[in-house]
Chain A
Amino acid sequence: MNTIEVNNRAELFSPQVREEIDLWVAKYPAEWKQSAVMAALRIVQDANGGWLTTELMNDVAAYLDMAPIAVYEVATFYSMYELKPVGKHKICICTNVSCMINNSDRVVDHLEDRLGIKLGQTTEDGRFTLKEVECLGACGGAPMMQIGKQYYENLTPEIIDSILEGLE
């Protein structure tokens, strides 16, 4: 296995990021540090404005004694990791069946019109990214979306406007 040699592991990431990753490492058997890779990628991504660079993924690999390719595999497999820059607020809109039949198209249209971008794009000022996602498990509140860690349900154009206006 090709792991990256690091001289000083303590120089990777900020102390807060290391501390947070270490909390996850401690949950798993000592010989399974790799189990913390999903959490580590999320923590590092959050600290980097919402996306992962190759350098950061390499650092995660070094920190967890993994081959870089094993980290890339994880980062590309799961939909919550971003490999390109995203806006400050990533708006994830569910368009799966229960949301679709409750007019998620209207949610998408409204957000696209208001922000002047299409799904998958980021506003020029770097504030918003629109992302289409699969069922987020809140179908009783369809149509719904997620911004950051928060779910927003029973959306109408008016509710969406007030949510966006409330964001920094």
Chain B
Amino acid sequence: MVNEVCLRTLDLDRPWLLEQYQSRGGYEMLTRILKEKTPPEEIIEEVKKSGLRGRGGAGFPTGLKWSFISRNAPGQKYVVCNSDEGEPGTFKDRDILRYNPHQLVEGMIIAGYAIGATQGYNYIRGEFWEPYERFEAALKEAREAGFLGENLLGSGFDFELYSHLGGGAYVCGEETALLESIEGKKGQPRFKPPFPAHFGLYGRPTIINNTESLASIPMILKEGGPWFADIGVKNSGGSKLFSISGNLNNPGVFEIPMGTPFSELLEMAGGVKGGRKLKAVIPGGSSAPVIPGEQMMDLTMDYDAIAEAGSMLGSGAVIVLDDTNCMVKVLERMSYFYHEESCGQCTPCREGTGWLYRVVSRIENGQGRQEDLDLLNDVAARIGGRTICALGDAAAGPVAGMLKHFRDEFQYHIDHKKCLVGAG
């Protein structure tokens, strides 16, 4: 069960073209829905049955999210796709946009039909020019074929879809920051509630889903929710795109069933480079706490297994670290990232991420003090749960994991003013 959903056309010559997508049944599901006037409730019910959970990282059930929209409320509603892929280690949505953009377009139109929206936006990160061009070309083809615009295939249903390009800000991957950004503002997250389902883009009811989530919809409806659910395991329906990178022979994107043993994924990625020893794995993007390599080898890639090990599956971004890496340096780089990307709105995050970075940095550079280890945990604890969005938690999360599993390396840096790794 490899490449069965979002990457199912990857073996084709130029899978991003409409004609190629249609050669694999592309737009058949949308056509059937429009012809048969499938009741929207049935679509939402099927998505619920599939067990699909938000693939951007939060893992919120997609069908449930859709059901929060009051479909018959008057006025415009919006479908927004989050292609602002920026969680360090994640590079899967880029491949969906480049290789299977039509399946995303089809998924977004169906989502619009299901919630009663006639307008959609796909927020693509500004650096993704090639993926943006592929998506734009797909929109053009879809429009010409009558899948976008007014009165789709004579059904009476209208749907229009546009891209919005980002400008380089990690925080815009947070759904309400993303909405602010589409509105032409700096991307600072909104306080919730109200949630986007009630007050979203331009103050209208809005659903925001990740690229992979929306691109999964046509296959879920075609084969049925239970089909999708059964690919995966309990609480983790379906297959998932894993972006695996780091010290590997063959890093890349692999679409495999949820619940696949990590050891199998590692093998697909060609194993650790140079035959070196697996030291640690960050299993769900840099915001996910690190897991020691030995423990990781016994885990399966699904929400529950990774959560039970004290981390999170997140966006499915797996960063593999071999034994030549200094974990203090790795944490220093991650802390710098969150400090750099904090939007500055909430004091605990704006100030706390700076504290985390400066303290880890001084440990890394031989200036650490014994009390710094407690200080790091203390600062992290004072950020977590005290901010409007999850960026603060994301910055705090890795700290506790690193200190729990690799405290000896931090201690060595403080005691010897140099690195344990490579010190012999």
Contact = CB atoms under 8 A, between A and B. Distances in A.
B168 interface: yes
A107 to B, nearest CB: 15
Contact of B127 (A80, A81, A141): A80
B166 A78 contact: yes
Nearest to B121: A27
B340 A34 contact: no
Interface string B309-324: 0000000010101000
Q: Which 6 A-B pairs have the closest CB atoms?
A: A78-B167, A79-B168, A34-B184, A77-B186, A139-B245, A149-B129
Contacts of A146: 127
Given A140-B245, A149-B130, 6 more contacts: A39-B165, A74-B184, A97-B330, A137-B90, A139-B243, A150-B129
A81 B130 contact: no
Nearest to A26: B162
> Which of A81, A97, A149 is the most central at the interface, judged by chain B CB atoms within 10 Å of its CB?
A97
A161 interface: no
A12 to B, nearest CB: 17
Interface stretch (A98-106, A108-116, A117-125): A98-106
Q: How large is the interface on A (under 10, 10 to 19, 20 to 34, 35 or more residues)?
A: 35 or more
Given A97-B89, A151-B130, A134 B337 contact: yes
Contacts of A39: 164-165
A38 B184 contact: yes
Contacts of B91: 137-140
B100 to A, nearest CB: 17
B340 A139 contact: no
A70 B90 CA distance: 31
B416 interface: no
Interface stretch (B246-254, B347-355, B407-415): B246-254
Interface string B171-188: 000000000011111110
Interface residues of B, number: 55
B333 A97 contact: yes
Nearest to B340: A134
A96 B245 CA distance: 12
Contacts of A27: 121, 162, 164
B185 A139 contact: no
Given A42-B167, A80-B167, A97-B286, A134 B184 contact: no
Contacts of B184: 32, 34-38, 64, 66, 70, 74
B341 interface: yes
Nearest to A78: B167
A166 interface: no
A136 B121 CA distance: 21
A93 interface: no
Nearest to A64: B184
Contact of B334 (A35, A97, A102, A150): A97
A42 B169 contact: no
B247 A79 contact: no
A95 interface: yes
A74 to B, nearest CB: 6
Contacts of B85: 137
Given A27-B162, A34-B184, A80-B168, A140 B253 contact: yes
Contacts of A35: 164, 182-184
12 contacts: A27-B162, A70-B185, A74-B184, A77-B186, A79-B167, A79-B169, A81-B167, A101-B247, A135-B90, A135-B170, A138-B91, A139-B319
Interface in A131-159: 133-142, 146, 149-151
B53 interface: no
Contacts of A15: none
A98 B86 contact: no
Contact of B185 (A42, A73, A149): A73
B227 interface: no
B70 to A, nearest CB: 20
A73 to B, nearest CB: 5
B185 A98 contact: no
B338 to A, nearest CB: 10
Contacts of A135: 86-90, 170, 286, 337
Interface string A51-93: 0000000000000101000100110011111000000000010
Contacts of A29: 76, 202
A149 to B, nearest CB: 4
A101 B89 contact: no
B127 A139 contact: no
Interface centre among A81, A101, A138 (most CB of B within 10 A): A101
Contacts of B319: 97-98, 139
B150 to A, nearest CB: 16
A10 to B, nearest CB: 22
Interface string B244-275: 11110001110000000000000000000000
Contacts of B165: 38-39, 42
A96 B128 contact: no
A24 B76 CA distance: 20
Given A35-B183, A79-B167, A96 B126 contact: no
B169 A78 contact: yes
